């Protein structure tokens, strides 16, 4: 018997950066679920757990994945072992939150397979998102769409306007520092002291601006937020960074677009070099050419 499930990635506009034990976030975050960027996980009963590495994942990433499956198995007191297959329809480890979609998909598939085997009811979405959070924090937001808000206490959907996402890939290389390591390293930055307050304030302001459709304000808040996170990276000890020259060039082009038109996309960048744009509507074809070139 084979079980197959897919789950979407998500991109945070207010970032989860800095965490406690079990991936409890130090600050709240707000994300948009990327329905077209998905991981599909299949599980098949086998003699031993083994991972079919079709995505060329690191040994460390594979072990994290196996550890999470083991955690789910223990939760249900299940004895079965599995052959695990996982495929993304987008590049992994390049700042497109592949750990979010892969851990969400593994959690969904693991719960489904084990509950079928043991003939138990499937846990609620809420329970599965909390199980997933233990594997990778940001994955708990992938259970809710289109928007998810994640606080220290809970994760849930939040009703905010639909946006149109576009990804500008400037670099598809592997990240120099994993997000999990970044969560620890940022605590060494002198900018970290007030980070929680800054993120919480921005969250409040962004929700207000989105509700009021104050687009320029949304752009400004999201711009400050991703630079805040990247400034933490660049002032950590040791410091590290993800931007390439092309990232900066695209950011300058976006600034120019805003200056010329008093309008443009919301921008955010995760722990990677690639740039996520959000548009108010789909009618922006002529602008994208100016941004990339
Ligand atoms: C920069 O969820 O990858 O993408 O909980 O250690 O697995 P772990 O970290 P992870 O962190 C994601 C950080 C981020 C910002 C975000 O998604 O909010």
What pLDDT is attached to residue 42? 97
Q: 40 with 83, same domain?
A: yes
Ligand 1 centroid–CA 184 distance in Å is: 11
Q: For a pocket test of ligand 1, which of 137, 140, 269 has the largest count of ligand atoms closer than 8 A to its C-beta?
A: 137
In this prediction, residue 263 has a pLDDT band, given cuts at 50, 70 and 90, of very high
Bridge-based pairing state of the strands 24-25 and 50-52: unpaired
pLDDT of residue 124: 97
CA 179 – ligand 1 centroid, Å? 5
Residue-number span of the structural domain to which 83 is assigned: 2-146
User: Is residue 250 situated within a structural domain?
Assistant: yes
Residue 128 has pLDDT above 60, yes or no: yes
Of the pLDDT bands very low, low, confident and very high (cuts 50, 70, 90), residue 53 is confident
Q: Are residues 262 and 182 in the same domain?
A: yes
Specify the pLDDT at position 64: 95
Minimum-distance ligand 1 atom for the alpha carbon of 180:
6
Pocket test for ligand 1, best of 9, 15, 101, 138 (most atoms within 8 A of CB): 138
Q: Helix or strand or coil: residue 90?
A: coil
| Whole-angstrom distance, CA of residue 146 vs CA of residue 34 | 8
pLDDT, averaged across the chain: 93
Mutation to probe ligand 1, out of 96, 99, 155, 182 (largest number of atoms < 8 A from CB): 99
Q: Of 238, 245, 257, 270, which Cα lies nearest the Cα of 141? A: 270
Q: Does 228 lie in the same domain as 202?
A: yes
**Which of 113, 146, 179 marks a domain boundary?**
146
**Which tokens is 152 given?**
């220290």
CA 270 to ligand 1: nearest atom: 1
CATH code: domain of residue 97: 3.30.230.10
Given a cut of 60, whether residue 286 has pLDDT beyond it is no
Report the CATH number at residue 261.
3.30.70.890
């Amino acid at each position: 018997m084979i079980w197959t499930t897919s789950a979407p990635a998500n991109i945070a506009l207010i970032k989860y950066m800095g965490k406690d034990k079990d991936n409890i976030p130090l600050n709240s975050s707000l994300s948009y679920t990327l329905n077209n960027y998905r991981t599909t996980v299949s599980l098949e009963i086998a003699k031993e757990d083994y991972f079919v590495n079709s995505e060329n994942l690191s040994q460390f990433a594979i072990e994290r994945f196996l550890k999470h499956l083991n955690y789910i198995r223990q939760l249900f007191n299940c004895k079965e072992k599995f052959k695990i297959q996982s495929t993304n329809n987008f590049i992994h480890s390049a700042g497109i939150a592949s750990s979010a979609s892969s851990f969400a998909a593994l959690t969904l598939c693991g719960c489904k397979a084990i509950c079928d085997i043991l003939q138990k009811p499937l846990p609620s979405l809420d329970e599965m998102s909390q199980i997933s959070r233990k594997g990778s924090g940001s994955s708990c937001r992938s259970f809710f769409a289109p928007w998810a808000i994640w606080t220290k206490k809970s994760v849930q959907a939040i009703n905010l306007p639909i946006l149109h996402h576009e990804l500008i890939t400037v670099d598809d290389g592997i990240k120099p520092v994993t997000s999990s390591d970044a969560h620890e390293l940022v605590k060494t930055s002198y900018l970290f002291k007030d980070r929680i307050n800054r993120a919480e304030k921005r969250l409040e302001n962004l929700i207000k601006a989105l509700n009021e459709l104050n687009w320029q304000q949304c752009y400004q808040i999201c711009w400050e937020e991703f630079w805040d996170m990247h400034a933490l990276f660049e002032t950590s000890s040791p410091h590290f960074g993800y931007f390439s020259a092309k990232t900066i060039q695209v950011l300058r082009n976006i600034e120019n677009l805003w200056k010329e038109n008093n309008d443009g996309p919301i921008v955010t960048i995760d722990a990677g070099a690639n740039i996520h744009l959000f548009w108010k509507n789909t009618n922006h074809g002529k602008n994208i050419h100016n941004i990339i070139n």
